[in-house]
Amino acid sequence: MVWVLYLLECNNGAYYAGITNNLEARFSAHVAGKGARYTRANPPIKIIASKLYPDRSSASVAEAELKNLPRQKKLQYFAV
């Protein structure tokens, strides 16, 4: 099963990163207020980047790396 690391832009201008095995369903859940606590308070307006990984473990490692980057480098992470 393929996993996806994704980056959302929220209505307050902040970025939110997460992983899923179904990006469309997960984005819909965030928009509906049924996703993460952060996106319930700050609904996402769009998916700004995504990257595929072969398994949940590697996607989780990538998510942790992404979340440790400063904002200005988060989009660059997806270009690699």
- Residue 73 is part of which domain span? 3-77
pLDDT band at 35 (very low <50, low <70, confident <90, very high): confident
* Number of domains the chain contains: 1
The answer on pLDDT for 61 being more than 80 is: yes
CA distances from 51 to 20, 40, 67 (A): 11, 23, 14
Helix/strand/coil percentages in the chain, nearest 5: 40, 30, 30
pLDDT digits (tens, 9 = 90+) for 7-31: 999 999 999 999 999 999 999 999 9
Q: How many CA atoms lie within 13 A of 12 on its CB side?
A: 9
Distance, in Å, from the CA atom of 69 to the CA atom of 73, rounded to the nearest integer, reads 6
CATH number at residue 71: 3.40.1440.10
Which amino acid would we find at residue 28?
Answer: S
